[in-house]
Amino acid sequence: MSHRERLYQTEAIVLRRTDFGEADRLLTVFTPERGKIRLIAKGARKPSSRKSGHVELFSYGRYLVAVGHDLDIVTQAETIEPFLPLHEDLLRATYAYYVAELTDAFTPEQDENGPLFTLLKEALGWLAAADNLPLVARYYEIHLLALAGYQPQLFACGACKKPLEPETNYFSPAQGTVFCPRCGRDPNGSIRDAVELSANALKVLRFLQTRDWDTCRLLRLNPGTQAEVERLNNRFITHHLERKVKSADFIERLRRQTEAN
C-alpha cells in the first residue's frame, strides 16, 4: 500500500466519544462516503493537542485519517461547524444526544449512507436554532427510519390495502403499517399488536414523512397530538431496536423537572 493509499480525507460528525488509554479518544463518527466508522484520536485529551477542540461531540469537521491495523487514526482535524448552542443549552444538548444515539443504533459500521449524513448534519443545525425541539426529533425519527429501511406505511391499510380514512385507525409497530378499523380488530374485538392512531396523529405523521423541514417547522401541534406522535414513534423505534433509547428517558426526566418548576 502506497503512502497515499494509507491516508484518506473525510468529513465527519462525532456521534460518540470515549476516553482511551492515557491521553487518546475513541470516536464513533458518521461520514458521507464510509458511513459509521470508529477512529482513534491520539493525544486528543492533552491540553496541548491541536486535535482536542476539533473532535467534540456533535461537531462537523474535516479529518485526515491514516489507515491503522485495528483502528484508523485521526492525524489532522479541522472543525467546519461546531454547533455551539448544542453545548451551551442542556435541553438542546440532550436532543442532540438523542439524534446521535438513534443514528448510532440504526446504522451498521461502514455502510455508506450519504443522504443520512446530510439529514444528520441538517438536524444538528435545526436543533441548534429551532424553538420546537420535539418537532425536530419527530421529523428526524421519521426520515432516519426511511433511510435505514424501516419506513412505516401510512397511506393504505396493511391488510385490505384500501386507502385509510381520516378516523381512528390502528398502528402496528411490529408490522410497520397502519390498519383500518375493520382490519385492526380480530373477530373477538381485541386489537392484534396494534395501538389506536387518531386521525390527527396520522395526518401529522404523513405530513412529516412527505414534506421538507422548512414546511414542517411551521406546524403547530396541540399537546395531545404531539404526545401521541412521540409515543407512536417511540414504540416503533423500541420494537426495532429491541431496547429503549437511553437519551429519550433523559429528555422525559428533564421535561418533568421543567413542568414541576
Cell numbers placing 208: 412529516
Tens digits of per-residue pLDDT, 104-132?
999 999 999 999 999 999 999 999 999 99
**Has residue 192 got a pLDDT over 80?**
no
| Pairing, β 7-20 against β 24-31 | antiparallel
pLDDT score, position 115: 98
pLDDT over 60 at 190, yes or no: no
184, pLDDT greater than 70 = yes
Closest of 68, 66, 53 to residue 10, by C-alpha = 66
**Ordered alpha helix ranges (H), 65-132:** 85-88, 90-106, 114-129
CA distance 99 to 127: 10
pLDDT in tens, 144-177: 999 999 999 999 999 999 999 999 999 999 999 9
Q: What percent of the chain has pLDDT over 70?
A: 95
Residue 28 CA, distance from chain mean position: 14
d(CA 131, CA 92): 10
User: How confident is the model at residue 44, as a pLDDT?
Assistant: 84
User: For residues 24-39, b (16+ Cβ closer than 10 Å) or e, as one string?
Assistant: bbbbbbbbbebbbbeb
Pairing of strands 169-172, 195-197: antiparallel
* Confidence band, pLDDT 50/70/90 cuts, at residue 32: very high
| CB distance 94 to 248 below 8 Å | no
Residue 47 confidence class, pLDDT cut points 50, 70, 90 = confident
Domain ranges of the chain: 7-81, 85-152+196-260
User: For the segment 3-12, what is each residue's pLDDT rounded down to a tens digit?
Assistant: 556 999 999 9
Torsion over CA: 40, 89, 128, 149 (sign): positive
- The architecture of the domain spanning 7-81 is Beta Barrel (2.40)
- How distant is the alpha carbon of residue 147 from its chain centre? 11
**What pLDDT does residue 1 have?**
46
pLDDT at 187: 55
Q: Tell me the H-state helices in 4-113.
A: 85-88, 90-106
The CATH number of domain 85-152+196-260 is 1.20.1440.120? yes
How many residues can be counted in the chain? 261
Q: Check pLDDT > 80 for residue 79.
A: yes
State the residue for C-alpha cell 466508522: 37
Question: What's the DSSP call for residue 9?
Answer: E
What is the enclosing helix (H) or strand (E) of 134?
A: helix 133-147
Sequence-separated (6 or more) residues with CB below 8 Å from residue 9: 62, 63, 64, 65
